Amino acid sequence: MNLLVLFGTPAPSPSPTVVEVSATLGSPGLLGFVVTFAVAVALVLLARSMAGHLRRVSRGGPDQDPPAPGDGPAPDRTEQR
């Protein structure tokens, strides 16, 4: 019965071959590191710049004067019946 199982199984097609894989095949290398590092540095600088701009906007900025009491929006002068 064992011989029947041994001879009854088909051989894999195509037969497997030995494939040599380079050690650096899955590595991005130095260029990948430099690009990733540059993106990270740009992100940090942009985040700091944005935080500074948001701080300036929330304070109102040095060039904005408070509105005078009579400087409100113009009243709506449409004709009412």
Residue 5: exposure state from Cβ atoms within 10 A (0-12, 13-18, ≥19): exposed
Gap between the Cα atoms of 41 and 28, Å rounded = 19
Per-residue model confidence as pLDDT tens digits over 21-56: 777 677 888 999 999 999 999 999 999 999 999 988
pLDDT of residue 58 exceeding 80:
no
Give this prediction's pTM.
Answer: 0.46
Q: Look at residue 61 and give its three-state secondary structure.
A: coil
